[in-house]
Structure formats: C-alpha cells, structure tokens
Chain A
Amino acid sequence: NAGVTQTPKFRVLKTGQSMTLLCAQDMNHEYMYWYRQDPGMGLRLIHYSVGEGTTAKGEVPDGYNVSRLKKQNFLLGLESAAPSQTSVYFCASSRFSGASYEQYFGPGTRLTVT
C-alpha cells in the first residue's frame, strides 16, 4: 500500500513551458486535492475533486488546470509556467473516518520556474 504518490519529485521549468504533475492514490478515496505551499502562507488549495470525472476550483486556481479521468489519479497541469508558480505542490486524498474526513498527503513536488 503506497498511499499517495507524486511524480516528479523535483522539476525546473523555464517561463512559458508547460508540465503535468501526477498524483496517484491506492486507497480508493473519493476526494483528491492539490495544494501549493509557500513560505509563511501555509497550504493553499488549488483545485480539488469529489470523484472521478469531477473537478472544482479552490482558493488559488488561476494558471492551473486539473483532470480526474481515473479515480486513483489526479493530474495538475501548468500550461504556461510563471516564476510566481515556483512552489512546493502537495497532493492529498481523503476518506471519512470516525465522524470526519481525514486527509493523506503525498511527499510533494518541488517546482522551480526560472
């Protein structure tokens, strides 16, 4: 049981380039999330999904797109990377346990845009 995995772990992009971050979970969770973590700002929700084929915007969705074609995978895309998107990106999935949802996090992807 690998939990939540993220690919790649590190990436350097030039401004204007595109890339896709892959998140996979093997726990059969319905909900999945993408966050970005920046110093002094905690975690901010980019997009989330409440099930296969559904996505919704979070707090900071601009410049990102997502897809959930399979229940176990949640992809985060950057169509035209900007230096402001330099950040650590975390994927999470959640399940209902003991009267509330609980989130499980991946190890993160460190993205630098030059």
Chain B
Amino acid sequence: AQSVTQLGSHVSVSEGALVLLRCNYSSSVPPYLFWYVQYPNQGLQLLLKYTSAATLVKGINGFEAEFKKSETSFHLTKPSAHMSDAAEYFCAVSAGTGNQFYFGTGTSLTVIP
C-alpha cells in the first residue's frame, strides 16, 4: 500500500524567502512521486515528478524536490518565494502498475508581501 503525509496544512513565507513544503511517503515498492499545485478554483497542475532517474528533480516555476530514500521524503523547495506561488500544494505517490495515485491532504502556501 502507498500513502503520503504532508506536514503542515498551512505554511506562510515572506516574499523572497525560501519555500519548503514537506512530504513523506510510504510504499512497499519503489515509488513514483509527484507534486501538484492548485490555484484557487482550478484543477491540479503537475509541478514535477520523481521516477528514479535522478534524486533531485526540477519542475516548473523554479520549484525542485529531492528524493531521499533513507528518510522516505520528497520535500518541495523554491529558493525565493513569489506572490504568484500562493496556492495549495499536493504531494502524491503511485507505485506498482503506476496508474493509481494517492494524494496527501495538501499544504496551503501563503506569501506575505
């Protein structure tokens, strides 16, 4: 069985500060891991994904995430927050056949001017 846990349902950062959103996963087989972003009143959009090719994954809008097997983590970071980064972020995992996805409960990011 697979699952993800997102630590912190709400995160606030100042504009220009580091963004760090935490995700820990549980999987009995090598996982595929994803980060999605959801802007208000919109669907989810893929930010980046890990598929075992490289442990540091770069995504859109300057975000990146590092897969750490020893810590079962896949934290999302961005060096400098922008006002437009304010959104809900979801971590997700799939494994096995890979066509079922399990989502975390989400982290709402607020960027303070």
User: Which A residues lie at the B interface, using CB under 8 A?
Assistant: 4, 31, 33, 35, 40-45, 48, 50, 90, 92, 94, 96, 98-108
Instruction: Chain A residues near B45: list those with CB within 8 A.
Output: 105
Interface of B, helix, strand, loop or mixed by DSSP? loop
Q: How far is the CA of A31 from the CA of B101 in the complex (A)?
A: 12
In-complex Cβ contact of A94 among B41, B44, B99 (8 A): B99
Are A100 and B105 in contact, CB atoms less than 8 angstroms apart?
A: no
Are A31 and B99 in contact, CB atoms less than 8 angstroms apart?
A: yes
Are B44 and A105 in contact, CB atoms less than 8 angstroms apart?
A: yes
Q: How far is the CA of A31 from the CA of B99 in the complex (A)?
A: 8
In-complex Cβ contact of B101 among A103, A106, A108 (8 A): A103
Known: A31-B99, A100-B51, A100-B94. A42 touches B42 (CB 8 A): no
Are A40 and B94 in contact, CB atoms less than 8 angstroms apart?
A: no
Interface size on B, residues (CB 8 A): 24
Q: How far is the CA of A18 from the CA of B104 in the complex (A)?
A: 30
With CB as the reference atom, state the residue of chain A lying closest to B45. Answer: A105
Are B53 and A107 in contact, CB atoms less than 8 angstroms apart?
A: no
Q: How far is the CA of A42 from the CA of B105 in the complex (A)?
A: 4
Least Cβ distance of A53 to chain B in Å? Answer: 17
Interfacial residues of chain B within 1-52, with CB under 8 A of chain A in the complex: 9, 32, 34, 36, 41-46, 49, 51-52
Question: Could you write out 29 A-B pairs with CB less than 8 Å apart?
Answer: A31-B99, A35-B103, A40-B106, A41-B105, A42-B103, A42-B104, A42-B105, A42-B106, A43-B44, A45-B100, A45-B101, A48-B100, A90-B43, A94-B101, A98-B51, A98-B53, A99-B51, A99-B53, A100-B49, A100-B51, A100-B94, A100-B98, A101-B94, A101-B98, A102-B49, A103-B46, A103-B101, A105-B44, A107-B42
